[in-house]
Chain A
Amino acid sequence: MPLADPTPGGYFGDFGGLFVPETLVPACLELEQAFRSAWADKAFRRDLDSLLTDYAGRPSPLTSCERLSRELGVAVMLKREDLNHTGSHKINNVLGQALLAKRMGKTRLVAETGAGQHGVATATAAALMGLECVVYMGEIDMHRQELNVFRMRLLGSEVRSATTGSRTLKDAINEAMRDWVASVESTHYCLGSVMGPHPYPWMVRTLHEVIGREAREQCAARLNGDGCDGLPDVVAACVGGGSNAIGIFSGFAGTRTELVGVEPAGGAALNRGAPGVVHGSKSFLLQDEWGQVREAESISAGLDYPGVGPEHSALASAGLARYEVVTDEQVIDAFVLLSKTEGIIPALEPAHALAWVVRDRDLLAGKTVLVNLSGRGDKDVGQMIELLR
């Protein structure tokens, strides 16, 4: 049983919808139609598949972590999205959306970015396909992810800082939406996670399902000994907006595998929020008693967000997935541990998923856990130099 599709209005259970200024509604409806038709078109799918293979380097490997597993008493496997071109899972979504933008006759992309991985992926696709590109990034994130700012500019994109509010991902999304309200005729908003108005949560999920499809096959091949059914006991992934998580969950939905999303303590919308509406959809949200959105606070720029994609709210409410919370300190330890035991420097975002495995290793003893290693840590090294000093 795969993940359920949303209703025609874009709802997953009680969550989702289309809460955007009137100006953008026709563009969202048009986008949905365009994506449906592209997805049903063999030529579009072939173009996307060859980009994913020949340009982005898919399929990404599945790595069994021998030393880490021995140390934890938990069999840990990693889905290596860090090895994709541009260094994270974000490229899967972006190549699909950029192809779609071209097909729709758009000449310009706008995007928001937190850690800069989605921004770099979008800038990359724009360079590849000859599209103009503007990326909005919070002023604080531009500082802590300086390397990615340089990469985006090198790739020919303009990076504009969001200087209001918390000056992080939330405010970058506000700026990108404001840009889109003014530029909707020429511009596609290349949203970076399974959030925002319909059809984004569904479209972005669809573009990331490749992670789950590959991982399911790889697990079937790898976990084939005596008494094995080819499934890991648990799949774990970090959750900011939730795109890498939903991508890998999609391969295991409806099986016995337990789905676990991991939120940062400073941005745990599902664990510490309440239903609300911001950035185009209804979902769990960190907010005060009057509905003002609270500022998230996480060392990981990619997870520093007070909301979460609506499908995760639906999965949590239906008990189909479980969401855990880890602290910044636990994340830093996991970042170091994976580097030292496996020779893999993870991004701070997927280090959250690892941190949960490390923390709950006694509960997980003897189990097989597949972690989505959504990105590599190069971008975080500068920040870690400060943190580990």
Chain B
Amino acid sequence: MNGTLEVALRSKRDRGQKLLVPYVTGGLGPDWLDVVRAVADAGADAVEVGIPFSDPVMDGPIIQQASEQALAARTTPQSILRALREGDSGVPLAVMTYYNVCFRMGHRRFAESLREAGVSAAILPDLPLEEVGPWAEVADQVGVESVMLAAPTASDARLRRVCERSRGFVYAVGLLGVTGVRAELAGSALVIARRAKAVTDKPVLVGVGVSTPEQAREACAEADGVVVGSVLVRRMLDGGGPAGAADLIGSFRAALDGSA
């Protein structure tokens, strides 16, 4: 049985649409929830909300800074989930955080609190195939989609197993490196998207290093869509607010829809 996020993404993809999933650091500024709504209104197909963690090893300087600021403002998993429960954005939501946040809360409590907050999916970038079992089992039971990351370093056999275990979509890591703004789309982005698409019919989205509408369109030559993180968070850090975020995501939407 497919979850809410996968159903939504598949149906759009099957209608020929390219998928756009912006990432917003939860608790970054008093208006972060308005940013979530604004990017949804500007054409996001789903929104990924970061629960900040003290030691984000998959993140570059921009999301590190955002996480530090959000934590300094006393953001907790609970404060983010409470806000999400109350503020309906009209699109499916995923949270992205590090495994210790989930482990500390307990798998079942974490999964149930996501479901109660209306969050469809979870992305835990430091929980690879080798360790995901106990969490994934609970997530499946509770009905939370656990999104797996597919990296350029995976063998074909491993990639197949990653895609099989993934729920919601497959998060194809576009380059060797951490999140951040890059001047060009890495060649590895197209390669990993093509390789993943060859072994799964789940939606395949490229994330990490997709920084401009042009790069997004380029990635979508192979991928079903993109995750856009650091460039949006940069705009939030610079005080762009909901309007600035909507502007940016609107330009990605237009590029993906071919009307840029």
Contacts and interface: CB of A to CB of B under 8 A. Distances in A.
Contacts of A63: none
Interface in A1-48: 9, 17-27
Contacts of B53: 291-292
Contacts of A282: 103
Given A181-B58, A290-B76, A292-B53, A19 B68 contact: no
Interface residues of A, number: 39
A287 interface: yes
A165 B71 CA distance: 11
B126 A20 contact: yes
B131 A178 contact: no
Interface string A199-234: 000000000000000000000000000000000000
Contacts of A274: 104
Nearest to B78: A290
Given A26-B158, A165-B68, A19 B178 contact: no
Given A26-B158, A276-B100, A292-B53, A182 B177 contact: yes
Contact of B178 (A165, A182, A285): A182
Contacts of B57: 20-21, 174, 177-178, 181, 279
B129 interface: yes
Interface in A268-289: 274-280, 282, 285, 287, 289
A18 B131 contact: yes
A20 B56 CA distance: 11
Contacts of A19: 99, 126-128, 131
B125 A21 contact: yes
Q: Chain A interface mostly helix, strand, loop or mixed?
A: mixed
Nearest to B171: A22
Interface in B124-164: 125-131, 148-155, 158, 162
B54 A276 contact: no
A21 B151 contact: yes
A185 B155 CA distance: 14
B200 to A, nearest CB: 15
Nearest to B178: A178
B153 A293 contact: no
Q: Range of interface residues on chain B? A: 35 or more
B130 A277 contact: no
B242 interface: no
Given A164-B64, A291-B105, A293-B54, A23 B100 contact: no
A174 B126 CA distance: 12
B83 interface: no
Contact of A178 (B60, B65, B105, B152): B60
A50 interface: no
Contacts of B78: 290
A183 B129 CA distance: 22
B173 A170 contact: no
A22 B71 CA distance: 25
A277 B129 CA distance: 16
Contacts of A278: 55, 100
B77 interface: yes
A381 interface: no
Contacts of B104: 274, 276, 287, 289-291
A175 to B, nearest CB: 9
B176 interface: yes
A345 B163 CA distance: 56
Contacts of A285: 100
Nearest to A276: B100
A287 B100 contact: yes
B101 interface: yes
B229 to A, nearest CB: 15
A184 interface: yes
Contact of B130 (A9, A27, A178): A9
A22 B54 contact: no
Contacts of B76: 290
B158 to A, nearest CB: 7
A1 B158 CA distance: 37
30 contacts: A17-B130, A18-B130, A19-B99, A20-B126, A20-B128, A21-B128, A21-B149, A22-B151, A22-B154, A27-B153, A164-B68, A170-B55, A171-B55, A177-B57, A178-B58, A178-B178, A181-B58, A181-B176, A182-B177, A183-B176, A185-B176, A277-B99, A278-B55, A290-B78, A290-B101, A290-B104, A291-B103, A291-B104, A293-B54, A293-B100
Which 4 A-B residue pairs are closest in the complex by CB-CB distance?
A: A291-B104, A182-B177, A23-B151, A291-B100
Given A25-B128, A277-B126, A291-B101, 4 more contacts: A20-B128, A23-B149, A165-B55, A279-B55
